């Protein structure tokens, strides 16, 4: 197992995180044991951050101890790997507006001490104003205005980084995905962010890209 980013490991062409809740699975991930430690395979077909890392994104600002505001938590697949990476000194505030899927996050969070599930609309950061300032806003809400949603949350909670998964078809089905990606990058740059790196997620997620941007 080779550590490629802080607390993110690679073996062959697969990536892994160390299980913060040993013995507990979150989805259908495989466990691998190395030197008495349990690692969870991070399935790149089920998590866009895993696909971005597999496709060679150069920077991952989520590390041990990072505070993350995660928008679009869904059932907690990616949130659980973020929780593994940040360990007990970090925290992930997991925002999701669909009650049915958030239920699953409660069960994931019950075995870990660093996930705070929040039932809220990511377009209204004032509804979760009590969240402390964070280091990173991670956004995967698959909405046409999601870059704006990410920027607003970053400013509200003082974050230094945005990590965002862009689904071209959620933004404009009629446009060429490359043009959609460029437009989202322009929005970030015009709002005081420097795009540190971005990668396409094909073949794991068709017509998606993943952007890491830093607030200037």
Ligand X SMILES: C[S@@+](CC[C@H](N)C(=O)[O-])C[C@H]1O[C@@H](n2cnc3c(N)ncnc32)[C@H](O)[C@@H]1O
Q: Establish whether the linkage from the previous residue to 62 is cis, with ω within 30° of 0.
A: no
| Interface residue with ligand X, options 7, 47, 147, 184 (CB under 6 A) | 47
Judged by CB under 6 A, does residue 141 bind ligand X? yes
**Distance in Å, CB of 77 to ligand X, minimum:** 4
Task: For the sheet with 2-5, list strands across it.
Answer: 2-5, 8-11, 14-18, 37-41, 31-34
**Distance in Å, CB of 120 to ligand X, minimum:** 7
Instruction: Pick the closest to residue 26 from 9, 46, 12, 56 (CA basis).
Output: 46
Residue with the CB atom nearest ligand X in the bound state: 72
Judged by CB under 6 A, does residue 74 bind ligand X? yes
Nearer to ligand X, 74 or 191 (CB): 74
Q: How far apart are CA 176 and CA 159, in angstroms?
A: 31
| Interface residue with ligand X, options 97, 128, 181, 210 (CB under 6 A) | 97
Q: How far apart are CA 149 and CA 143, in angstroms?
A: 9
Judged by CB under 6 A, does residue 96 bind ligand X? yes
Q: Give me the DSSP letters along 34-82.
A: ETTEEEEE--TTT-HHHHHHHTT-S-----TT-EEEEE--TTSHHHHHH
**Distance in Å, CB of 216 to ligand X, minimum:** 26
Would you state the structure tokens that stand for residue 80, as one six-digit string? 């659980």
Interface with ligand X by CB under 6 A: which range of 36-44, 82-90, 117-125, 199-207?
117-125
**Distance in Å, CB of 121 to ligand X, minimum:** 5
Chain residues in the site for ligand X (CB under 6 A): 47-48, 72, 74, 77-78, 95-98, 101, 121-123, 140-143
């Amino acid at each position: 197992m080779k550590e490629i980013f802080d607390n993110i490991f690679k073996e062959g062409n697969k990536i892994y995180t160390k299980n913060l809740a040993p013995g507990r699975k979150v989805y259908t991930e495989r466990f691998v044991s190395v030197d008495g430690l349990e690692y969870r395979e991070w399935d790149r077909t089920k998590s866009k951050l895993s696909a971005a890392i597999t496709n060679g994104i150069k920077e991952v600002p989520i590390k041990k101890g990072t505070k993350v505001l995660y928008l679009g938590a869904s059932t907690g697949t990616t949130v659980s790997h973020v929780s593994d990476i940040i360990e007990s000194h970090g925290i992930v505030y997991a925002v999701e507006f669909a009650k049915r899927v958030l239920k699953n996050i409660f069960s994931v969070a019950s075995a870990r001490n660093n996930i705070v599930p929040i039932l809220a609309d990511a377009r209204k950061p004032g509804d979760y104003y009590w969240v402390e300032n964070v280091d990173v806003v991670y956004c995967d809400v698959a909405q046409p205005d999601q870059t704006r949603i990410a920027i607003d949350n970053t400013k509200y909670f003082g974050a230094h980084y945005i990590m965002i998964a862009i689904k071209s078809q959620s933004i404009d089905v009629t446009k060429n995905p490359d043009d959609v990606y460029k437009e989202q990058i322009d929005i970030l740059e015009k709002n005081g962010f420097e795009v540190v790196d971005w990668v396409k997620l094909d073949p794991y997620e068709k017509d998606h890209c993943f952007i890491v941007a830093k607030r200037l």
